[in-house]
Amino acid sequence: MKQTIKCLITCALVAFLSRPLLADEILDWNKHLFDASVVGATSPLAMTRIAAMVHAAVFDAVNGIERRYAPIHVAPDAHPGASRRAAAVQAAYEILVRVYPAQKADLDAKLEASLNGIASEEAVEHSQSIKRGIAWGQTVANAIWTWRSGDGINSVLPPYTGVNAIGFWRPTPPGNLPGAGLQFATMTTWVTQSFWQFRPGPPPLLNSAQYTDDFNEVKSKGRSNSATRSADESSYSVFWNSATANSFWNGVGVDLSNQRHLTFSENAKFFALLNLAMADAAIGCWDAKYIYIYWRPITAIVQAANDGNPATAEDLGWTPLITTPNHPDYTSGHSCVSGAAGKVLSTYFGDNTPITVFSNVLGTTRSFSSFTVALEEVKNARIFGGIHFRTACNVGQQLGINVADYVLRNGLLPVHGKR
């Protein structure tokens, strides 16, 4: 008898361990989000908003069933018994197919694969539960889309060409394009109270020691044919410019979620906080850019003879390693967004967590011993790439940290004592 019981227990254990692990659709659709962004050639700034929409919809869809946290926008109202997994999939799909309608066929196939997986024998999900989850996910996505369609993104603004005066931004070579992203400078925020809540003080005066140091550093290290920039510095400057900040840090988040075995519910909340913080950091950053309209190194170095600072010297033939984006220097967008991401990730997993960052465009990686080390390289990459002064990166990173700290303390709070 004892031997029979022992055999039954052993056989059951073997059967359990040999069963396929259930997929985490939140991680799957996070990947689909960034795959679509590469195909759609999405800009880094636009990516902050799109990623926040997708993960806000996913979170409110899951939370609308679990009812554990304050919602981002959509109050919990799911039909009893609705599938959390189906709701998350439908919510993510609906946002993505509206953002990338040209990719509908591919997204439809991914939706079908996800829902088939949920309906499989291993998933133990009933058809009625899945149907209710799909309906709820659709409802949430519709509400998120309608809400964010009124956030200012659709405002039609005249082309912005800056100020043709010393110290101020104006269109830069080679494209000499008008300023990008003006709508983000006054956009409705996600969690923070306003676009100006964490506005920093002004950039350095042109005759200050700080500006002199910033100027001479980027002039030397950031020029296209710099003799003072190492091969690795050149390599990582190109690496951090190759993809969007959101894709870099979401990739790290996926790796750490798998390593630490975050649950489905934990992933819904974690990726929402991560992407909401990055989105609000981008809005705060663009507020600063168009309040201070500070010039870029490529303009400052060519115009240095007129800046009133005897410690800066012009170089009429100076060009940066990386093409200068068409918006003002102060503050650095990458530093703002990465600062926010680093704060959320280090709060969840600890600063001294080894990480590997992947470029979904280059297909290459860089590894770091901590988030602090990685964020320092992000700042250096913008300076050594010749597109930012150091102060814009330092202040930008702190702006992002401040935003993320606020989001972590005030967003998605538990209700009724639940965790």
Per-residue pLDDT tens for 209-234?
999 999 999 999 999 999 999 999 99
Find out whether 385 and 322 touch, Cβ atoms under 8 Å.
yes
Q: CA-based diameter of the chain, in Å? A: 95
Assign residue 386 a region (left: φ > 0; alpha: ψ between -120 and 50; beta: otherwise). left
pLDDT at 419: 54
Report the b/e string of 159-198 with b at 16+ CB within 10 A: ebebeeeebebbbbeeeeebbbbbbbbbbebbbbeebeeb
Give the DSSP letter of residue 78.
P
Of 139, 171, 161, the residue nearest 74 (C-alpha):
139
Instruction: Count each helix (H run) and each strand (E run) in the chain, helices first.
Output: 14, 2
pLDDT at 343: 98
Under DSSP, is residue 360 helix (H, G, I), strand (E, B) or coil?
A: coil
Residue type at position 10: T
pLDDT at 147: 98
Per-residue pLDDT tens for 321-371?
999 999 999 999 999 999 999 999 999 999 999 999 999 999 999 999 999
pLDDT at 361: 92
For 90, the token pair is: 């439908």
Residue ranges of domains in the chain, CATH in brackets = 22-149 (1.20.144.10), 182-410 (1.10.606.20)
Helix (H) or strand (E) segment spanning residue 84:
helix 84-99
pLDDT at 11: 37
Of 134, 87, 103, 119, the residue nearest 32 (C-alpha):
103
Per-residue pLDDT tens for 161-215?
999 999 999 999 999 999 999 999 999 999 999 999 999 999 999 999 999 999 9
Supply the mean pLDDT for the chain: 93
Radius of gyration of the chain (CA): 24
* Distance between CA atoms of residues 58 and 75, nearest Å: 13
pLDDT at 68: 96
Low-confidence ranges of the chain (pLDDT < 70): 1-23, 121-124, 417-419
* Distance between CA atoms of residues 120 and 62, nearest Å: 20
Q: What's the 3-state SS for 94-149?
A: HHHHHHCHHHHHHHHHHHHHHHHHHHCHHHCCCHHHHHHHHHHHHHHHHHHHHHHH
Cα torsion 248, 249, 250, 251: sign: positive
